[in-house]
Amino acid sequence: MAGNEISVLIGGQAGDGIASAGQVIGHLLAGTGYRVYMHYDYPSRVKGGHNFAIVRAAEYGIGAVREGVDFVLALNQETVDLHQGRLPDNGIVLFDSGRVKNAAGIGVPVGEILAAEHAPAVMGNSAIIGAFIRAAGLDWERSAGVLGRAMPKGTDQNLRVARKGYESSEERRVIPPATLPPLPVVTGNEAIAIGLAESDLNFYFSYPMSPTSNILHFLAGAAEELGLRVIQPESETAAILMALGCAYAGSRAAVGTSGGGFCLMTESLGLAGIAELPVLVVLGQRAGPSTGLATYTAQSDLHFALHAGQGEFPRLVVAPGDAQEARDWAGTCLDLAWKYQLPAILLPDRQICEGFYSLGTGSPSPHRAMPVLADPSARPYHRYAPSGSGISPLSYPPVPGEAIRVNSHVHDSAGITTEDPGLTRGMAEKRMRKMAGLLDEIEGLPSVSLGGVRDAKVALLCWGSSKGACEELGGRRGLRVVRPIVLWPFPEEAFARAMNGVEHFYAVETNESGQLAAHVSRFGYNADDTILKYDGRPFMLDELEAELHRVVP
Amino acid sequence: MTGNDLISEAKNTWCPGCGNFVIQHTLKNVLTEMAAEGAPVENTVLVAGIGQHGKMFDFMELNGFYSLHGRTVPVATGIRLANPDLRVICVTGDGDSYAEGLDHLVFGAKRNIDITVLIHDNRVYGLTTGQFTPTSPHGFRGHSTPGGATEYPFNPLDLMLSSGATFIARGYTHRREQLKRIIRSALEHKGFSFVDILQICATYSDMTAYYDARVYDWDESASGDYAAAHTKAREWDYNADARIGLGIMYRRRAPTFEESYPAPPVPFAKEQQAWIQKFLENRM
């Protein structure tokens, strides 16, 4: 155990319920007064293949895990073989003694426990968790409460299985209780879903794709309580078009996908741009190109999000750095899409989508951006009426005596197709004028984050989930951490303030080319060097620390 | 309101003799008639694809969404879901909905979403100057198939029947009264209504004489009979020489997508917040 933090790895094969077991461990540690983050690593399989989760708990907010762990909970031999090297000399292995033959530590007779309780195999992880509760010296009563809440189905049976696991184990390493007030623990996907609902989402359209499928599942499960409808159409193409149909008729819609699905949506992104239809796209990044690594992470779609679509049109691109930002910005992006009538892209990476975070209370913006609505008495209504801000007031059918038109072609103020050069130029400029207002608004929001040692002359530049590792190491190593959250329109003023006094900076990204470094170079900021990782895995703390030693003088 | 109120001031750019004029004026007449009977015209939304048919968007004075090539049905679906008081009509072409947007057409039928799809089926790409489409006959000579198309057409009526469409009809731009009755019935149908309109292309594929010699009216008395509809659909395969039936081929009432999946009661913001709060508390 390194100071006041602890890391627990649980592993098994797909179908063993490793993700939910990891979440339960997260809840157990959060309930002991810690902040937690969980990294879940799994191949793209329903059954078989090695799955593991690393749950890390610390006495401050975290968003990264270490290579090293204090406990390994092994549901199979492979877990022991692959991960026991992560343990220090005094590390502890708890294992299923029926499936693991070659290990030293606490053997848990999972098969016998399940047989005695007539429990299905998937409850095996409850036995191991029970054994962990004992080994870590956690309070049984409080832990049982956590287990009960985390397993609403088959609760009693799970608790009996866990209790038998507990009894088969022994106290080895007491995790000292921490004192932080409790926070809920959620995935980034859940946080995004909540943020959308809080921003009055009416419809969510999504074709299943990792890493955003769980937004679809969460919203579908809570649709009635949240007052929205969730539809899985035939393709991502259809998903975004349905959303645009909703927008035309005055309903708020969002879509969720990953890079491959966003390729299909790109055609309609331009439609949203020229027709001035608000839509929010959640683009959860995973490792590409093409199918890439379906269940692993990357930050390699920044340039795609910034440039997707033929022609030129305004857009908003925002990359949250943790679950709290994902919640806040999902709602803010939806509001801004409606106010400025443009497509907004929320660009989390897979580590945020499927990472499990202690959800901070955050600081949602004091007032919400509201759409500009047409005066119902003003006739005739022109959907693309010129204005200084570029925003044309909205009206939705039916309005007696009016034909409300939106158009994918270049059009006049009434929405009728035109090829007139003056109108073509004028409408292009009207659309782009919206970016000035949007940029003003963005500059007033926390669009660039400053972390680590805030006045240090050497900085790390990062985005998205790399926040976790960068901020933690930055603080420890005397480095400033500058992290743009809004990537387009680029908040140049906020970025300049964050970079003020920086003499050297290094970009840390999970892609091969340094996409953020290239992006900020457009504005005159040239990174001294880059630290890049593109193997589908996030930066582990110890790994990034070694890289910093190598790269940063 | 008169029919002329539904024709916009935009300059019409279709070729003289184009079948689109017939479809435009037939739709205008149907909507005028329905408006006189109390169905407000502002409740109608036209969703157009890309092709010569798409200019209906500009030429008609109606609410409209000028979409992308092949992409009318999902847009119409979104509009209907957002506001079930709107009557949503997709005007789309054979190149448009049978080629690039075929998946959407099949899924619109499968869902039985309550929209009407009018296919301007001239069996040739007009806007892009005369290439073959999914319903062009085998051997069709166009700019992209100078030696004649080697593919056979597919049969859209058969396809729609298999896909679950609950209203399937075929009209012809030289049978105006019948076309008007078909379009009106399609608009009044609750569920997914599909009309394949054999349309003359005056410039690239004028099949007037061919159609005139072969069309006949279907007996519509048993239009709910699937097997009979199947026989009708297969009588002419859009290629071989055969009689070409016109009229309503199939019609049945089935729950629409909107009926099967109605809007949930919108919770007051306070109730929604309470649910979220409870969810988060359970995660502590």
CB pair distance less than 8 Å for A405 and B64? yes
Gyration radius of chain B over CA positions: 20
Q: Is the pLDDT of residue A364 over 60?
A: no
DSSP A55: E
> What element of type H or E holds A264?
helix A259-275
8 Å CB contact between B63 and B85:
no
8 Å CB contact between B28 and B36:
no
pTM of whole model > 0.80? yes
Q: Is the pLDDT of residue A169 over 50?
A: yes
Q: Is the pLDDT of residue B111 over 90?
A: yes
Q: Do domains A5-168 and A185-358 have the same CATH topology?
A: no
Cβ-based neighbour number of residue A137 at 10 Å: 14
Contact list in B for residue A309 (CB cut-off 8 A) is: none
Mutate which of A28, A248, A382 to disrupt the B interface (most B C-beta within 10 Å)? A248
* Average pLDDT, rounded, for chain B: 96
| pLDDT (average), residues A403-411 | 98
Q: Is the pLDDT of residue B186 over 50?
A: yes
Residue in A149, A241, A417 nearest the CB of B75: A241
Q: What is the CATH number of domain A448-551?
A: 3.40.50.920
CB pair distance less than 8 Å for A249 and B79? yes
CB pair distance less than 8 Å for A406 and B58? no
CB pair distance less than 8 Å for A227 and B272? yes
**pLDDT the model gives residue B204:** 84
**pLDDT the model gives residue B1:** 84
Strand partners of residue B170: B196, B247
Residue with tokens 């009538």: A341
Question: What is the tens place of the pLDDT at every residue in A14-37?
Answer: 888 999 999 999 999 999 999 999
Percent residues over pLDDT 90 in chain A: 93
Opening angle at CA B109, ends B187 and A225, nearest 5: 95
What's the total number of domains in chain B?
1
Least confident of A56-70, A99-113, A149-163, A361-375: A361-375
| pLDDT (average), residues A510-515 | 98
Q: What is the CATH number of domain A5-168?
A: 3.40.920.10
CB pair distance less than 8 Å for A397 and B42? yes
Percent residues over pLDDT 70 in chain B: 100
Q: Whole domain around residue B257: which residue ranges?
A: 3-281
8 Å CB contact between A273 and A342:
yes
Task: Indicate the pLDDT class of residue A365, thresholds 50, 70 and 90.
Answer: low
Q: How far is CA A306 from the centre of its chain?
A: 18
Question: What is the tens place of the pLDDT at every residue in A104-143?
Answer: 999 999 999 999 999 999 999 999 999 999 999 999 999 9
Contact list in B for residue A249 (CB cut-off 8 A) is: 45, 78-79, 82-83, 86
| pLDDT (average), residues A145-164 | 92
Of residues A267 and B3, which shows the higher confidence score?
A267
**pLDDT the model gives residue B202:** 85
Nearest to B180 by CA among B35, B39, B28: B28
Residue in B8, B78, B273 nearest the CB of A242: B78
**pLDDT the model gives residue A330:** 97
8 Å CB contact between B49 and B1:
no
| pLDDT (average), residues B233-244 | 97
Q: Please report, for the domain that includes residue B254, its CATH number.
A: 3.40.50.970
Task: Indicate the pLDDT class of residue A362, thresholds 50, 70 and 90.
Answer: low
Task: Indicate the pLDDT class of residue A492, thresholds 50, 70 and 90.
Answer: very high
CB pair distance less than 8 Å for B79 and A228? no
**pLDDT the model gives residue B212:** 97
Q: Is the pLDDT of residue B265 over 90?
A: no
Opening angle at CA A63, ends A59 and A68, nearest 5: 80
Question: What is the tens place of the pLDDT at every residue in A388-401?
Answer: 999 999 999 999 99
Contact list in A for residue B42 (CB cut-off 8 A) is: 397-403
Would an 8 Å CB–CB cutoff place A380 in contact with chain B? Answer: no
Residues in CB range of A525: below 8 A, 6 or more apart: A461, A495, A499, A505
CB pair distance less than 8 Å for B272 and A226? yes
**β-pair type (B63-66, A405-407):** parallel
Q: Is the pLDDT of residue B246 over 60?
A: yes
Contact list in A for residue B103 (CB cut-off 8 A) is: 234-235, 237-238
What are the residue ranges spanned by the domains of chain A?
5-168, 185-358, 448-551
Round to whole Å and give the CA distance between A3 and A472. Answer: 14
Question: What is the tens place of the pLDDT at every residue in A39-51?
Answer: 999 988 877 789 9
Would an 8 Å CB–CB cutoff place A373 in contact with chain B? Answer: no
A185-358: CATH class = alpha beta
Task: Indicate the pLDDT class of residue A1, thresholds 50, 70 and 90.
Answer: very low
Helix/strand/coil (H/E/C) assignment for every residue in chain B: CCHHHHECCCCCCCCCCCHHHHHHHHHHHHHHHHHHCCCCHHHEEEEECCCHHHHHHHHECCEEEECCCCCCHHHHHHHHHHCCCCEEEEEEEHHHHHHHCHHHHHHHHHHCCCCEEEEEECCCCCCCCCCCCCCCCCCCCECCECCCCCCCCCCHHHHHHHHCCCEEEEEECCCHHHHHHHHHHHHHCCCCEEEEEECCECCCECCHHHHHHHEEECCCCCCCCHHHHHHHHHHCCCCCCCCEEEEEEEECCCCCHHHHCCCCCCCCHHHHHHHHHHHHHCCC
Percent residues over pLDDT 70 in chain A: 99
* Average pLDDT, rounded, for chain A: 95
| pLDDT (average), residues B93-103 | 95
Question: What is the tens place of the pLDDT at every residue in A423-451?
Answer: 999 999 999 999 999 999 999 999 999 99
Position A25, amino acid: I
Question: What is the tens place of the pLDDT at every residue in B188-219?
Answer: 999 999 999 999 888 888 899 999 999 999 99
Task: Indicate the pLDDT class of residue A378, thresholds 50, 70 and 90.
Answer: confident
8 Å CB contact between A135 and A196:
no
Least confident of A283-292, A358-367, A514-523, B138-147: A358-367
**pLDDT the model gives residue B266:** 81
CB pair distance less than 8 Å for A238 and B74? yes
Q: Is the pLDDT of residue A2 over 50?
A: no
| pLDDT (average), residues A138-152 | 92
**pLDDT the model gives residue A366:** 61
Smallest CA–CA distance, residue A524 to chain B, in Å, is 38
Question: What is the tens place of the pLDDT at every residue in A190-236?
Answer: 999 999 999 999 999 999 999 999 999 999 999 999 999 999 999 99
φ/ψ bin of A180: left (φ > 0), alpha (ψ from -120 to 50), beta (otherwise): beta
| pLDDT (average), residues A453-473 | 98
**pLDDT the model gives residue B45:** 98
Q: What string of DSSP letters covers A390-455?
A: SPPPB--S--TT---EEESS-B-TTS-B---HHHHHHHHHHHHHHHHHHHHHHHTS--EEEEESTT
Q: Is the pLDDT of residue A367 over 80?
A: no
